[in-house]
Amino acid sequence: GQAINLPAIAITIAITILLIIGIRQTAIVNLVLVVIKIIIILIFIFACCKYVDRNNYYPFFPPNKGSFSKYGVTGMLQACTYVFFAYVGFDSVSTVAQEAKSPERSLPIATIGSTIVSLLLYIGVCTVMIGLVPYNLLDSDSPLAEAISHTPYGLWLSIIMNLGAIASYTTVGLTLMLSQTRIFYAMANDGLLPSFFAKIHKTTITPWISIIISGIFCTVFSGICPVDIFGETTSISALITYIFIHITVIVMRYTHGDIARPFEVPFGSWLIPSVGSLLCILLMKGITKATGFRFLVWTALGQIIYFSYGFWHSKQRKLGKNKSLTGCVEFLQQVESPIE
């Protein structure tokens, strides 16, 4: 019914089982679903492009109607905040670096390549949709169905696109849950989370306890929470994270200048990180108050977990403390030697 999203629950349970089975099987299923999704998107683009009306592209920026979110350039920025959610998956590539054969070569290619391919597909779909139907008629729960209704293809193309949407949501959920369980695994190895999050199954070689806990959590919330709330909250979380990443890239150029860098950020250490930080801040302008409040509550919960457990059990903190104590002891020994 409308209160509980049963398909979302079923898909999340299936994803959880697949992640427990193994990373190779997960990669194969994800590849098949991605190929299906791309083929369906290309079918829509090439089947409908001949029915495009170029007059629908004018005006390219509809005039603003008096508020930040109502069309115009500011309305575009508001929309970008939500569209940004569609690109979040590219960062999940980095979370499986330990399971890649040549991460120093494959990770940059996968990250940049997936972003470019996604960009081209999104542009293609949006260009055709606006060409088929004026933008003001696409403000509905099913804009693709509205666009297809203006073509002679009818029901069969709508069914195919709905199957593509299911495959798309499944790959997004699969990628995000895969990356989250690997993040929990890395945090548990550092002591930020209890050690059972890093427990590996003897047969499948996967962090099965972490996967089950994540699966239960995602199953419950996917079944009762609307998709738009997830999209908005994920967007602001990602934007905040990327701001810190951009700043970290600049800082580490000076604090860790001697570490090996198989792939360096082009155009120097300042340009892209600075521009990226400013763009993230600009996109956050469109976040609603309700989304900001949910993010603050979620962040506060994370801080409680960190300072009540992670801070006191962090192996990196203990290692740094031991090094500091060792340095003090060596210094005192050096001071005492001349006196003796």
User: What is the 3 state secondary structure string of 18-74?
Assistant: HHHHCHHHHHHHHHHHHHHHHHHHHHHHHHHHHHCCHHHHCCCCCCCCCCCCCCHHH
Residue 332's pLDDT is what? Answer: 44
Residue 335's pLDDT is what? Answer: 43
| pLDDT tens, position by position, 183-212 | 898 889 888 899 999 899 888 889 999 999
Residue pair 215/223 in contact (Cβ under 8 Å)? The answer is: no
- C-alpha span between 204 and 129 (Å, rounded): 44
**Which of 65-69, 188-192, 217-221, 234-238 is the least confident region?**
65-69
| pLDDT tens, position by position, 128-149 | 999 998 888 887 777 888 888 8
Residue pair 141/147 in contact (Cβ under 8 Å)? The answer is: no
- C-alpha span between 255 and 251 (Å, rounded): 6
Place of tokens 């609603």: 288
Q: How confident is the model at residue 2 (pLDDT cuts 50, 70, 90)?
A: low
Mean pLDDT (whole number) for 9-36 = 92
Taking the model in full, what pTM does it have? 0.76
Q: How confident is the model at residue 245 (pLDDT cuts 50, 70, 90)?
A: confident
Residue 208's pLDDT is what? Answer: 92
Distances (CA, A) of 264 to 34, 252, 274, 307: 29, 12, 15, 34
Residue 330's pLDDT is what? Answer: 53
| pLDDT tens, position by position, 35-55 | 999 999 999 999 998 899 889
Domains and CATH numbers, the chain: 1-225 (1.20.1740.10), 227-317 (no CATH)
Q: What average pLDDT does the structure give for the chain? A: 83
Q: How confident is the model at residue 27 (pLDDT cuts 50, 70, 90)?
A: confident
Q: How confident is the model at residue 326 (pLDDT cuts 50, 70, 90)?
A: low
Mean pLDDT (whole number) for 243-252 = 88
Mean pLDDT (whole number) for 251-257 = 83
